[in-house]
């Protein structure tokens, strides 16, 4: 049993939002795959739970001309089976194909993966690279924030107590962009990442016009590797450039040692994985 | 105190009083006496508490009972039809795909669901789908053989 709580469930968004306005001491539960464990281990104390898992208006993948939109309650398994995600959000698709196990993917939501704000969350580096925005809604208004600006530290975000993450908005970018994602875990997918890396390169023939790189598990929040990006921009893609640029990643990360790996190991693996992900990205183009 | 919820467990409607903080796994085992569902880690790691909840395989230790009011639950007790074991159950017996048997209900249920969805699952797909369940006796080889062998029955079923 977990500590005592009061449980509330609403099936439509506006009811849930007005409940939340009046009960700011409530914790939201979606799939519960992070939260139930945190409640049990008393890492989180909550008196009240707001169950949003039955709000069907937050379960959709919408394919538009400039953007596509993912409702916050879409499960990881649904993303894995989605052709839209496979076609337009390659790095995210790769991430959900290396995510947890079947039972967990069936209940775990993308919104929960983001809002849990684990530095290891697998969907986040891909969403950073895809330049996703998050829609945060309270009873009066909706605001949109860039996903990179959402995180403050492990388990901490800028979300207000009366807000629900309702949607992830991903711009459709032009076809010059190429992507890759690599996850290093102790076991293929069962376990949280030791390091994960997503890369997006905008290529003009062999020249790198633009680069976006994001890593997880190597700092208190998922991070952009801005030094690597800067090193790559407007340069010819040679293997020497990739080697040198990958080493720059040490300036972008602040890893710690934990039960999964030591800080030193994470530094070495970050260099290696950035290099591998960049090469993979360039390989796709051959 | 608590509240009453209704669950359809292996085809029969059950009403049960639960507290808001009770875990589905504990309600199934302790209140509804569905003992095939095993409890070992209570933290999503071993997979022994796997059930089919509204047709989806989930770990019942990560779910609150109050969350699933009105749901349908299938466990290994509900697989046999008219006293006949499901093909996957027979195949586990024929292949001796167990030692202590503690993990067997979870593996049987998960592989039943897998074969229903994808009767021609490859060995890699079988391994991936079952990777969330742990067998401490190490009978994985026999389990995979049992599933491959049972798959023909599900292929036939899917055709008719
Ligand atoms: C065995 C196992 C393996 C796992 N493997 C992986 C893995 O490979 N990669 C990985 O990244 N994660 C993994 N996880 C972690 C977890 O499954 C994911 O983070 C999952 O996506 C969380 O989603 P959820 O819907 O279950 O969130 P919940 O547990 O319901 O919620 C998580 C947090 O987000 C908040 N929240 C949820 N939805 C919203 C919303 N819409 N608006 C505002 N706040 C919200 C909740 O209040 C809570 O703080 C694993 C977990 C387990 C148990
Ligand atoms: S008891 Fe649920 S996964 Fe171990
Ligand atoms: S047979 Fe003993 S745990 Fe699998």
Q: Are A167 and A62 part of one and the same domain?
A: yes
Whether residues B44 and A33 touch (CB distance < 8 A) is answered with yes
**Which of A171, A206, A223 finishes a domain?**
A171
Report the CATH number that the domain containing residue B46 is assigned in CATH: 3.10.20.30
Taking CA atoms, A54 is separated from A12, A72, A106, B98, in Å, by 8, 12, 14, 38
In the reported structure, the alpha carbon of residue B116 is separated from the centroid of ligand 3 by a whole-number distance in angstroms of 24
Instruction: Identify any residues that bridge with A197 across adjacent strands, giving them in sequence order.
Output: A182, A215
Interface test with B, best of A101, A108, A109, A259 (most B CBs within 10 A): A101
Contact B113, B57 (CB under 8 A): yes
Whether residues B67 and A51 touch (CB distance < 8 A) is answered with yes
Which residues on A lie below 8 Å from B21 (Cβ)? 1-5, 7
What gap in Å lies between CA A92 and CA A86, rounded to an integer? 8
Q: Can you give the pLDDT at residue A187?
A: 55
Whether residues A40 and B42 touch (CB distance < 8 A) is answered with yes
Q: Can you give the pLDDT at residue A263?
A: 87
- Whether residue A1 is contained in a domain is answered as no
Percent of residues, chain A, with pLDDT higher than 70: 97
**Which residues constitute the domain of residue A13?**
6-51
A28, containing H or E segment: strand A26-29
Q: Which of A205, A188, A204 is nearest to A196 (CA)?
A: A188
Q: Are B94 and B137 part of one and the same domain?
A: yes
Per residue, what are the HEC states of A169-205? EEECCCCCEEEEEEEECCCCCCCCCCEEEEEEEEEEC
Q: Are B67 and B23 part of one and the same domain?
A: yes
Contact A58, A166 (CB under 8 A): yes
Among A7, A37, A188, select the one facing B43 at the smallest CB separation. A37
| Residue of B36, B59, B64 to mutate, ligand 2, most atoms within 8 A of C-beta | B59
What gap in Å lies between CA A98 and CA A168, rounded to an integer? 20
B46 touches chain A (CB under 8 A): no
Mean pLDDT across the stretch A174-188?
A: 83
Which residues on B lie below 8 Å from A6 (Cβ)? 20
Domains held by chain B: number? 2
Q: Which of A113, A137, A134, A112 is nearest to A13 (CA)?
A: A137
Report the CATH number that the domain containing residue B129 is assigned in CATH: 1.10.150.120
Q: Are B47 and B103 part of one and the same domain?
A: no
* Chain A residues within 8 angstroms (CB to CB) of chain B: 1-7, 9, 29, 31-33, 36-37, 40-41, 49, 51, 53, 100-104, 106-107, 187-190
Contact A170, A67 (CB under 8 A): yes
A26, containing H or E segment: strand A26-29
Q: Are B11 and B70 part of one and the same domain?
A: yes
Question: Is a pLDDT exceeding 50 seen at residue A149?
Answer: yes
Q: Where are the alpha helices (DSSP H) in chain A?
A: 13-22, 35-40, 76-80, 83-88, 90-96, 102-107, 110-115, 124-129, 226-232, 239-247, 263-285
In the reported structure, the alpha carbon of residue B109 is separated from the centroid of ligand 2 by a whole-number distance in angstroms of 15
Q: Are B56 and B91 part of one and the same domain?
A: no
Q: Can you give the pLDDT at residue B49?
A: 98
**Which of B78, B109, B135 finishes a domain?**
B78
Would you say how long chain A is, in residues? 286
Which residues on B lie below 8 Å from A33 (Cβ)? 44, 62
Q: A16-67 pLDDT, tens per residue?
A: 999 999 999 999 999 999 999 999 999 999 999 999 999 999 999 999 999 9
HSE, CB side, 13 Å, CA atoms: give it for residue A277. Answer: 36
Report the CATH number that the domain containing residue A201 is assigned in CATH: 3.30.390.50
B43 touches chain A (CB under 8 A): yes
- Whether residue A259 is contained in a domain is answered as yes
B140 touches chain A (CB under 8 A): no
Q: Are B59 and B93 part of one and the same domain?
A: no
Mean pLDDT across the stretch A280-284?
A: 85
Q: Can you give the pLDDT at residue A20?
A: 98
What gap in Å lies between CA B101 and CA A34, rounded to an integer? 29
Q: Are A35 and A103 part of one and the same domain?
A: no
Q: What is the DSSP string of A41-86?
A: TTSS--SEEEE-TT-GGG--EEE-SSEEEEETT-BHHHHHT-HHHH
Question: Is a pLDDT exceeding 90 seen at residue A193?
Answer: no
Contact A196, A180 (CB under 8 A): no
Among A5, A49, A104, select the one facing B59 at the smallest CB separation. A104
Q: Which of A156, A107, A100, A152 is nearest to A123 (CA)?
A: A100
| DSSP E strand stretches across chain B | 3-9, 12-18, 50-53, 56-59, 72-74
What gap in Å lies between CA A127 and CA A125, rounded to an integer? 5
Contact A160, A71 (CB under 8 A): no
Whether residues B56 and A3 touch (CB distance < 8 A) is answered with no
Residues in chain B with pLDDT values less than 50: none
Q: Are A250 and A166 part of one and the same domain?
A: no
**Which of A126, A141, A171 finishes a domain?**
A171
- Whether residue A209 is contained in a domain is answered as yes
**Which of B47, B78, B109 finishes a domain?**
B78
Distance from CA of B74 to the nearest CA of A (A): 14
Distance from CA of A114 to the nearest CA of B (A): 18
3-state secondary structure of A19: helix
| Residue of A56, A111, A112 to mutate, ligand 1, most atoms within 8 A of C-beta | A112
Mean pLDDT across the stretch A116-138?
A: 97
Predicted confidence band of residue A262 (pLDDT cuts 50, 70, 90): confident
**Which of A125, A150, A171 finishes a domain?**
A171
Q: B31-61 pLDDT, tens per residue?
A: 999 999 999 999 999 999 999 999 999 999 9
**Which residues constitute the domain of residue B12?**
3-78
B63 touches chain A (CB under 8 A): yes
CB neighbours of residue B153 within 10 Å: 16
Would you say how long chain B is, in residues? 160
Q: Are A224 and A210 part of one and the same domain?
A: yes
Distance from CA of B95 to the nearest CA of A (A): 24
Mean pLDDT across the stretch A143-162?
A: 97
Q: Are B54 and B105 part of one and the same domain?
A: no
Predicted confidence band of residue A189 (pLDDT cuts 50, 70, 90): very low
3-state secondary structure of A139: coil
Domains held by chain A: number? 3
In the reported structure, the alpha carbon of residue A116 is separated from the centroid of ligand 1 by a whole-number distance in angstroms of 6
Report the CATH number that the domain containing residue A167 is assigned in CATH: 3.30.465.10
Report the CATH number that the domain containing residue A38 is assigned in CATH: 3.30.43.10
Q: Are B71 and B113 part of one and the same domain?
A: no
Q: Which ligand is nearest to the CA of B38?
A: 2
Helix axis angle for B87-94 and B104-117, nearest 10°, is 130
**Which of B38, B61, B78 finishes a domain?**
B78
Could you give the dihedral angle defined by the CA atoms of residues A242, A247, A248 and A253, in that order, rounded to the nearest 10 degrees?
Answer: 130
The set of protein residues with a Cβ atom below 6 angstroms from ligand 2 is B 39-42, 44-49, 59, 61
Interface test with A, best of B1, B57, B68, B69 (most A CBs within 10 A): B57
């Amino acid at each position: 049993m977990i500590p005592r709580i009061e449980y509330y469930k609403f099936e439509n968004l506006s009811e849930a939002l007005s409940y939340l306005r009046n009960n700011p001491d409530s914790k939201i539960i979606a799939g519960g795959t992070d939260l139930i464990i945190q409640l049990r281990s008393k890492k989180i104390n909550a008196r009240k739970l707001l169950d949003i898992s039955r709000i069907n208006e937050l379960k959709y993948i919408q394919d538009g001309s400039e953007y596509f939109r993912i409702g916050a309650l879409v499960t990881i398994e649904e993303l894995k089976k989605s052709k839209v995600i496979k076609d337009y959000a390659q790095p995210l698709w790769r991430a959900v194909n290396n995510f947890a196990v079947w039972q967990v993917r069936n209940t775990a939501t993308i919104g929960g993966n983001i809002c849990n704000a684990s530095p290891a969350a697998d969907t986040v580096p891909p969403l950073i690279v895809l330049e996703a925005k998050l829609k945060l809604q309270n009873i009066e208004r909706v605001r949109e924030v860039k996903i990179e600006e959402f995180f403050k530290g492990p388990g901490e975000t800028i979300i207000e107590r009366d807000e629900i993450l309702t949607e992830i908005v991903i711009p459709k970018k032009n076809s010059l962009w190429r992507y890759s994602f690599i996850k290093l875990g102790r076991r293929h997918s069962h376990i949280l990442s030791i390091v994960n890396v997503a890369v997006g390169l905008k290529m003009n023939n062999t020249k790198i016009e633009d680069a976006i790189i994001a890593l997880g598990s190597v700092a208190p929040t998922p991070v952009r590797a801005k030094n690597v990006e800067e090193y790559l921009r407007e340069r010819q893609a040679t293997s020497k450039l990739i080697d040198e640029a990958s080493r720059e990643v040490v300036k972008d990360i602040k890893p710690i040692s934990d039960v999964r790996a030591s800080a030193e190991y994470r530094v070495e693996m970050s260099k290696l994985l950035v290099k591998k992900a960049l090469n993979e990205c360039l390989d796709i183009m051959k | 105190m608590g509240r009453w919820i209704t669950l359809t467990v292996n085809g029969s409607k059950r009403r049960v009083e639960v507290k808001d903080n009770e875990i589905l796994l504990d309600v199934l085992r302790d209140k509804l006496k569905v003992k095939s569902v095993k409890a070992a880690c209570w933290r999503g790691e071993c997979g022994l508490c796997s059930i089919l909840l509204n047709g989806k395989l989930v770990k019942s230790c990560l779910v609150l009972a109050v969350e699933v009011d009105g749901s349908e639950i299938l466990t290994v007790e509900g697989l046999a039809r008219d006293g006949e074991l499901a093909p996957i159950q027979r195949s586990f017996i024929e292949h001796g795909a167990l030692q202590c048997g503690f993990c067997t209900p979870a593996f049987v249920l998960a592989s039943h669901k897998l074969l229903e969805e994808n009767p021609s699952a490859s060995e890699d797909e079988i391994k991936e789908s079952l990777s969330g369940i742990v067998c401490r006796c190490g009978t994985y080889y026999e389990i995979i053989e049992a599933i491959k062998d049972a798959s023909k029955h599900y292929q036939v079923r899917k055709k008719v």
